[in-house]
Amino acid sequence: MPTAPVSNLFYQSRQPRPMLDRGEGIYLYDVTGKRYIDGSSGAMVSNIGHSNPRVLEAMRRQMEKATFGYRLHFQSEPTERLASETARRMPAGLDRVFFVSGGSEAVESAMKLARQYAVARGEGTRWKVISRHPSYHGCTLGALAVTGYDPLTVPFAPMMREMPKIPAPTCYLDRDNLDPAARGLKYAEYLRDEILRQGPESVLAFIMEPVGGASTGALVAPDSYYARIREICDEFGILLIYDEVMSGAGRTGAFIAAEHWGIVPDLVVLSKGFAAGYMPLGAAVARSDIVETVLDSGGFLHGFTYAGNPLACVAGLAVLDEIERQDLVANAATMGALLKSRLDGLMETYPFIGDVRGKGLLLAFELVSDRASMRPLPKELNAHSRLVEIAYERGLIVYSRRTRGGYEGDHFLVCPPLIVTETQIDEIMGLLDGALSQFADEIAP
Ligand code: PLP
């Protein structure tokens, strides 16, 4: 029996968790030998699966040379190579890469770079970063200021300056008669309205997850939304930041999700799948003129000690290599389409599945009391944690949250590593079906 955890990781519950032993491909094993399918890639991190021997070998070779060289003392070859390799995968013009150690740090860096750019251009009145509700952009106070997830923000409200929020495009909850294109435009116009309400001269940037993550359950807007948001930002000279911490590095079936709509953001934020759990790594990627302007004005007043360390960058390079070698972006698209159709199929058996959504292998389903009204399940059922527990006992890890739109609902992310095969999707679906059927019995009146 595991003992109560004392480490800082277990902050949400005193409930002991199985002790992790090892990982292999899409599987994780605890110390008793029980096997779990990593059906959510951890928190949508382990994109290339666990214990990839080529990545481990690249890291071992680097460790024997140098694990750390302070960025103000040395450039390092892996860091420069990773910057070029990252830029090569970005839309043209986004070619400057600022490395950090995680998603929150990357979001902070993007927002601070944007602010310095505005100041350097004589637009010091611009400081507000508009975001969406719900959304998740990180857990530092600055990143929480743009996060639209009340359970994490409200307790810290006096300590942070909350930024303006517009509704996320939760079109699947709408019951109006608009077609998808009109709905997308409706949600984009909330941005224009908010900019005018705030005063355009005070607005610095708009930050959004192009395919939502944990806070919305893989929310995808209608196509019309993306282009209109870009237009609105351009109209008012507002920088567009795509937070691709979760959707980037191939997960949605494109290297960054922006590609699906041909959008070129001004800044892109990466982490999670970027080094796929082999090392803590993130990046804020920016247009070169933004960086040049900031450098001309005296340099970026920002930086983390571990940023751009050669070991993390070697891990990142090896992960990018692996994504290419195994054609994982294409696999995310094909396996994602297969998994999505199989999840859609579950709606026939389980009337409490109200919606299945997502792109590539960033997929989620949502539970409801009633599909017609999309009313959520009663909170007391605690569905988001109960179904996860049932699946966990059966050896399948999925990721859940209770939040959406203006009110609460339970959604579950099914996001296996991008190396997943058709047979493994069968395996995931078998376990998920069993878990849902047990859950259905438990909630039956
Ligand atoms: N942005 C998005 C979209 C995320 O999903 C996350 C983490 O879940 C973050 C930022 C924060 O990343 P980290 O937990 O690495 O700080």
CATH number at residue 199: 3.40.640.10
Is the domain of 418 the same as that of 296? no
Residue nearest to atom 10 of ligand 1 (CA): 137
Is the domain of 242 the same as that of 352? no
**Burial (CB count within 10 angstroms: exposed 0-12, middle 13-18, buried 19+), residue 425:** middle
Amino acid at 51: S
pLDDT band at 406 (very low <50, low <70, confident <90, very high): low
User: pLDDT exceeding 70 applies to what percent of the chain?
Assistant: 96
41-73 confidence digits (pLDDT tens): 999 999 999 999 999 999 999 999 999 988 889
Predicted local distance difference test score (pLDDT) of residue 15: 73
Please provide the average confidence, as pLDDT, over all residues in the chain: 94
Task: Flag whether 2 is in a domain.
Answer: no
Residue where a domain terminates, one of 325, 355, 373:
325
Q: Where are the beta strands (DSSP E) in 137-223?
A: 165-167, 203-208
Is the domain of 71 the same as that of 104? yes
Q: Probe ligand 1: pick from 139, 211, 215, 271, max atoms within 8 Å of CB?
A: 271
Is the domain of 393 the same as that of 421? yes
Task: Flag whether 46 is in a domain.
Answer: yes
Tokens matching residue 7: 């480490």
Task: Flag whether 205 is in a domain.
Answer: yes
Residue where a domain terminates, one of 325, 345, 378:
325
- CA–CA distance, 403 with 153 (Å, rounded to integer): 13
C-alpha 100 – ligand 1 centre gap (Å): 13
pLDDT band at 151 (very low <50, low <70, confident <90, very high): confident
Is the domain of 66 the same as that of 196? yes
Is the domain of 42 the same as that of 78? no
* Backbone phi and psi for residue 137, each to the nearest 5 degrees, phi listed first: -130, 5
Residue nearest to atom 12 of ligand 1 (CA): 103
Q: How far apart are the first and last CA of the chain?
A: 34
Task: Flag whether 60 is in a domain.
Answer: yes
Q: What is the DSSP letter of 404?
A: E
Task: Flag whether 124 is in a domain.
Answer: yes
- Residue identified by tokens 């990721």 is 399
Predicted local distance difference test score (pLDDT) of residue 2: 56
User: Could you tell me the pTM of the whole model?
Assistant: 0.97
Predicted local distance difference test score (pLDDT) of residue 408: 76
384-404 confidence digits (pLDDT tens): 889 999 999 999 999 998 875
- Do residues 216 and 134 make contact, with C-beta atoms less than 8 angstroms apart? yes
**Domain residue limits at 214:** 56-325
Task: Flag whether 243 is in a domain.
Answer: yes
pLDDT band at 116 (very low <50, low <70, confident <90, very high): very high
Is the domain of 61 the same as that of 39? no
292-306 confidence digits (pLDDT tens): 999 999 999 999 999
Q: What is the DSSP letter of 278?
A: S
* Backbone phi and psi for residue 98, each to the nearest 5 degrees, phi listed first: -110, 115
Is the domain of 239 the same as that of 284? yes
* Domains identified in the chain, total number: 2
Q: How many CB atoms lie within 10 A of CB 172?
A: 17
Which residues lie closer than 8 Å to 122 by C-beta, 6 or more apart?
none
pLDDT band at 37 (very low <50, low <70, confident <90, very high): very high
Task: Flag whether 7 is in a domain.
Answer: no
pLDDT band at 8 (very low <50, low <70, confident <90, very high): low
Task: Flag whether 34 is in a domain.
Answer: yes
